Amino acid sequence: MLKRLKKRLPIVSVLLTLSGVFIHSCIEPFDTEGIVNDFESALVIEATITNELKQHQIRLTRAFELEADSARAEREASVAVFDDQGSAFQFSEIEPGLYQSNQVFQAEGSRNYQLSIMTSDGRNYTSDPAQLTQETQIESVEAARITDDDGNEGMAILVNSFDPTNNSNLYRYEYEETFLIIAPDWTDTDLVKSVPNEPDNCTVDLVFTGENDERICYGTNASNTIILTNTNGLDEDRVSRLQVRFINRNNFILSHRYSILVRQFVQSPAAHTFYTRLQELSQSDDLFSQTQTGLLVGNVFSEEDEDEIVLGYFEVSSVSEQRIFFNYEDFFPGEDLPPYAINCNRSAPSFTQPSEFGFFAGCLLSELVAVGAVEYVGPNNGEIPPFGDQGVGPHIVVPAPCGDCTQLGSNIRPSFWVD
Amino acid sequence: MNYKLHRTSNYVRVLLFTIFTLCIFKTHAQERLPSVSLNTENQSIVTVFEILQEQTGFKFYYDTNWFGAEGITKSYTNVAVDVVLKDILRDTDINFYIDDDNNVFLTRNSFVYDTLPENFFGEQEESAVIETEEIETDTGPVFEDKTRRVSERVETVRIGKATSNRNQSEVRLTGRVTDFITGKPVPDLSILVDDGQQGTSTNSNGEYSINIKRGTHVIKVSGLGYKDRVKNAIVYNSGVLDFSVEESIEALDEVVVSENARRNVEIPVTGLVSLEIEQIKTIPLVLGERDILKAALTLPGISNAGEGASGFNVRGGKTDQNLVLLDDGVIYNPSHFFGIFSALNPFSTGSADIYKGSIPVQFGGRLSSVFDLKTKTPNTEKFSGEAAIGPVTSNLVLEVPIKKEKAGLLVGGRGTYSGWILRSLDDEQLSESEASFFDVVAKYNHTLDENNEIRATGYFSRDAFSITSDSIFNYSNRLASLRWNHKFNEKNTGSLILTNSQYRFNIEFDGDSNTDFDLGYINNESELRLEFNYLHSKAHKFKYGISGKLYQIDPGNVDPLNADSEVTPLSIPRERAVESALFFSDTYTVNEKLLIDAGVRLSLYAALGEGIQRIYEENAPRNSSTLVETREFDQNEVIETYGGPEFRISGRYFLNPDLSLKASFNNTFQYIHTLNSNTTVSQTDTYKLSDLNIRPQQANQFSLGLFKNFKDNEYELSIEGFYKRQRNLLDFEVGAQLLLNETVEAEVLQGDGRAYGVEFLLRKNEGRLNGWLGYSYSRSFIRLDSPFREERVNNGEFFPTNFDRPHDVSLVTNYKITNRLSASANFVYQTGRPVTFPLGQFEFDNADFVFFSDRNEFRIPDFYRLDLSINLEGNHKIKKFAHSFWSLSIYNVLGRNNPFSVFFVTENGEVRALQSSIFAIPIPTITYNFKF
């Protein structure tokens, strides 16, 4: 309930803000330049070491300005995790900003782990010691067809977990969903530009491809929200039907077969507090909000300058995961499939652009084919009429993702996939 | 002021005061007065005047109602006319004055001065001596010129009967000072004995009491706004000496700045600001509202987060640390419309005493200040009223005498027509919405007899907003107070005070989906207080009493608004507590120079069940994982108690008669706290009582000040410094959620506060140009430290509070061009307040997050503003129905776009900084007020 209300309150806040606008004769951009002029790109640490025996990964990036779009990878750092028994696990950069341990290892209980980073500019960072949390297995992950609070119908992914020792209490979830994509307008024939490197040659050829790798693919999304729960105040340490994901029934990812891997992390109190605060801060966005803003301090600190801002968190956490599969038919038997990911409008572009003042203005269809924007469906036997001075061509095409699923996913069947 | 002055030949419609005005500047006494001879046989006094008029050719001005029909029998032969008059009038309360143009003015009770008072602060004693001698020789036929003048000026009274008990050299003089016209008691006038050798001041009932030696004394009642009254008293024994005072010419022009000119230097209280509503009448207005609380903000030491912010920050204190009292009852949110207007009716509000330094012992429960607001005492003499028509609100206050001179009722109401404005807007969304407020106040006073008086006040204010059709947000204050003043005897008085206050807000969300809800918060408190004053002796005045207060808070509930709503009801359990106090203080006059006011208040607080308290592990950060148990308490079971002595000590030392040094120490407890992460009072602030997990806030304040009056009190200058330490201030962890949080204690941090500053105030109270200049340099810091990183803010170091605004300058001036026309200007400059800025974004767990600077690391730009106004008063013709007052004001003449707040929104995945300003352009306003 509280959660639902919190979701509602921002609306109230907006209303209040509106009324604020009415009085506040003026709301306008505020130039922080000259006030905040010492933007310093802080180091951001995403590091979760678990009890899985594997090559663990740590991501290092730099914070970026409010106006900027994306993070910059922190390259060429030396990264290591130590435990208090004298073990050290070195990490190497496998792609920009992503560091992977050179050997497989797993976090073990009753040991303290510490992260140590030296960046390429010679600055040293160390985390607070962290201990592995108790392991609690996911009891089950279930899928259910529900109508959510806002009246939307769809599939809910629910998690159940139980810790009879009553010690876990604080949980964080991640998921990775994989879904089957079948290109609705896939055909065994493709269009190719006849002469690839001649822009003025507008001819195209039909090529038979047969059953290629563009019909069936697998799309994958990772969770991008913070999903937390705790069992404090409950009689027993039981997570019951916690919704980690809701998929609207109109989402194309449900269309055929869907699989989700839910990972449950048991968190330390400090880590849980950090994630909770981070989540709450990300909801703060207006004048009337009652969320206290401020710097959210993690557990990694600069050794040279204690005031330096270091973002992110080093977590040592036990993890348990479970995967489920279901088909659209299982829950929506006989019902229409969700619409495809994009609108598959058919068209029949002419070979050339409409001429300008009688002069040749360039190829059309062959260029669309060359850049991979369209996929062939079939011959235009008058199905698509001419459109204005654009004219009409002999081939019907659709936007590429409708005929080529690799635009939306990978055509490599994941090893875990079960049909 | 419907004086009808009687002239034998015809009626002259002249305002008495106007004549006085002329008189005052004509100070030449008559060189030689004509003599008369007459015999009267039981003729009325009026007839005698007519005879005198004929004989002398003088014109007499008086009101025939002053004299009864009883006759007088007298005989004079060739006696000077003034001697005759004096003899005739000896047994009446009538004084007279003869001017150069052979006019004789008769006045009741008050005296017409033909010179400015002599020896206002002088050392000369002879006048007193001469006056007393004059009593004995009163009947003599001829007087020396000098003696005549003195005797004209001073009325002599005998107090008490001479007794054989000579052992007791000191006797008690008591009395009451009332307004000559309205009959209302006049508080805060100074009673000076023998040119200031001794003194006291009148209390809120206009009463005073002083121990003096037997013998002759010159007793003077003085205070700005009123004419001085002097009486010679031959004191044989304890007795009563009442005064009736007339408003001074300044009062007519309504530029009263303080009722007591010497109060600045005399009282032992540090950090006291007194405001009269009349004083702020000419201050430029915002949207036509004359606002005593807004005026308070122009005084040093009192600030807020910006225009349009409700709440006050007094000497580096939080907005929840002020006890705002209206006629003894607490008002939790004294503001309308997001703080743009104060919720007090300017016409019904009489005065505001703001204690920001030493707080009197009878007040407690808040750390920083007490705003002691008083509603006007209703007029018991005649029906009167005041009304205003402004662009946003209209206002009407009526004073109705219920029983002549005994009982009166004041009722006032004020409301907006913003609803009408909204409806007339083109914008469809806005025109369907509502934003309105109103407040009503009623005060009843009844003087039962000379020993008993009852005062009752009721107050209600309500704001409602519905800017879209989906939501209604409203809040209201309700207050009732009853006070019974009782005089036991000459030395002992007492008051019984009963109050009840309620503050509530409500949000109704009625959209189209199934999530409609109704969210409510209610805060209710009742207090019973018994307060006694014991005038023990000349040296000691005791005040003592006991008070008990019951709090009941319903911190919030959410209910589905209708059957379709799927909102699950949620209710945070009620909180209850009792706050009680025993208090005692002694105002001790050590000697003529040193006055000490020392008091102690024993404060005891108990949080009561029924309720649920969560108990956390000791020495661990409070969060859900360190929760040990949830303990339940039964109805009225004591959950936790807090308390301790609060010392209130202050003193004044006269370095010379116009210069005093004052110092004070003050400590306070506060058991009720707002949950507010914003800088300003937000309307959704809730109050939380101290319980097992939240300790009371505490403050210690030291202040030291120099107070000086110049040029016969025309100028007042004060410089005060303060240093304040606070403990257990409430603040919140980064990311804390405050509304409807069942475990809010897990997000509350309690830390130390430190504030210090110097305040400078120069006031000019009289003359064509008056006003004040205030400047303060003050800082306010808080430290939130903890062994646990998640409970530490800004590395556990002191950082500026949200309202730390070091430089604060206010200039308030009014210039009288003529008696009716005046111009005013305000200028305000303040350092921009601290803010927490988002510094940038970072990627974490596949999402982008904004990260913020350290708390309050940056400041928004400085604030400054100039307002101007022109005020025109209607003329003062007697027969005119009403006295009008026009005011044209321009707020923010410079059009300065002062950022009120800076905030951040995420639009299209991009974070943008926005600033809001309340009045970014000059706002002109015309207001029309009239009094009848």
Closest CB to B473: pick one of A16, A63, A286.
Answer: A16
Contact A224 B845 (CB under 8 A): yes
Contact B915 A71 (CB under 8 A): no
Q: How many residue pairs from chains A and B have C-beta atoms closer than 8 A?
A: 273
Closest CB to A25: pick one of B740, B845, B919.
Answer: B919
* Structure confidence at residue B308 (pLDDT): 61
What are the residue ranges spanned by the domains of chain A? 39-132, 189-214+339-407
Q: What is the pTM of this model?
A: 0.71
- Lowest-confidence region among A220-224, A407-411, B154-158, B534-538: B154-158
Contact A149 B566 (CB under 8 A): yes
Closest chain B residue by Cα to residue A279 = B735
With contacts defined as CB-CB under 8 Å, which chain B residues touch A288? 678, 682, 684
What is the spatial distance between Cα A255 and Cα B510, in angstroms, rounded to a whole number? 36
What's the CATH number where B32 sits?
3.55.50.30
What is the spatial distance between Cα B246 and Cα B177, in angstroms, rounded to a whole number? 10
Residue listed under structure tokens 């900003």: A97
Instruction: Report the pLDDT averaged over residues B919-923.
Output: 74
**Is the four-CA dihedral A164, A168, A172, A177 of positive or negative sign?**
negative
What is the spatial distance between Cα B543 and Cα A390, in angstroms, rounded to a whole number? 98
Split into its structural domains, chain B has a count of 2
Q: By residue range, what is the domain housing residue B436?
A: 272-931
With contacts defined as CB-CB under 8 Å, which chain A residues touch B688? none
CA-nearest of B771, B784, B863 to B814 is B771
With contacts defined as CB-CB under 8 Å, which chain A residues touch B517? 5, 8
Residue B60 belongs to a domain: yes
Q: Over the range B596-607, which residues count as b (16 or more CB within 10 Å of their CB) and which as e? A: bbbbbbbbbbbb
CA-nearest of B473, B554, B470, B555 to B516 is B470
* Structure confidence at residue B30 (pLDDT): 40
- Lowest-confidence region among A215-224, A383-392, B308-317, B900-909: B900-909
Please indicate if any CB of chain B lies within 8 Å of the CB of A270: yes
Closest CB to B913: pick one of A29, A223, A290.
Answer: A29
Residue B819 belongs to a domain: yes
* Structure confidence at residue B409 (pLDDT): 93
Instruction: Report the pLDDT averaged over residues B61-69.
Output: 73
Please indicate if any CB of chain A lies within 8 Å of the CB of B624: yes
| Domain termination residue (choose one: B61, B86, B115) | B115
Residue B841 belongs to a domain: yes
Residue B214 belongs to a domain: no
Q: Which fold has domain A39-132?
A: Immunoglobulin-like (2.60.40)
Closest CB to A44: pick one of B570, B739, B842.
Answer: B842
Instruction: Report the pLDDT averaged over residues B289-311.
Output: 77
pLDDT band at B872 (very low <50, low <70, confident <90, very high): confident
Contact A295 B852 (CB under 8 A): yes
Contact A12 B916 (CB under 8 A): no
Residue B165 belongs to a domain: no
Torsion (CA) B136, B141, B144, B149 in degrees, nearest 10: 70
Contact A44 B623 (CB under 8 A): no
| Interval B13-56: pLDDT, tens | 322 222 222 222 333 334 467 788 888 777 788 888 888 888 88
pLDDT of A361 strictly over 70: yes
Q: Are residues A192 and A369 in contact, defined by beta-carbon separation less than 8 angstroms?
A: yes
| Interval A297-336: pLDDT, tens | 899 999 998 888 899 999 999 999 999 999 999 999 999 9
Please indicate if any CB of chain A lies within 8 Å of the CB of B790: yes
State whether residue A299 is helix, strand or coil: coil
Instruction: Report the pLDDT averaged over residues B812-838.
Output: 86
Contact A30 B623 (CB under 8 A): no
Contact A20 B859 (CB under 8 A): no
Share of chain A above pLDDT 90, in %: 48
What's the CATH number where B598 sits?
2.40.170.20
Alpha-carbon distance values, A8 to B509, B515, B638, B741, B909 (Å): 9, 8, 37, 15, 20
Closest CB to A269: pick one of B570, B623, B913.
Answer: B623
Contact B842 A311 (CB under 8 A): yes
| Domain termination residue (choose one: B115, B137, B172) | B115
* Structure confidence at residue B559 (pLDDT): 76
- For residues B141 and B637, the model is more confident at B637
Residue B288 belongs to a domain: yes
Determine phi and psi for A255, rounding to 5 degrees: -50, -45
| Domain termination residue (choose one: B82, B115, B148) | B115
Instruction: Report the pLDDT averaged over residues B203-219.
Output: 82
Determine phi and psi for B532, rounding to 5 degrees: -125, 145
CA-nearest of B755, B725, B720 to B269 is B720
Residue B200 belongs to a domain: no
Determine phi and psi for B296, rounding to 5 degrees: -60, -30
pLDDT of B579 strictly over 70: yes
Alpha-carbon distance values, A187 to A400, A412, B656 (Å): 12, 19, 106
Residue B386 belongs to a domain: yes
| Interval B460-500: pLDDT, tens | 999 887 655 566 778 899 999 999 999 998 889 999 999 99
pLDDT of B12 strictly over 60: no
Closest CB to B841: pick one of A22, A29, A63.
Answer: A63
* Structure confidence at residue B876 (pLDDT): 55
Spatial neighbors of B132 by CB under 8 A, at least 6 apart, are B156, B216, B232, B234
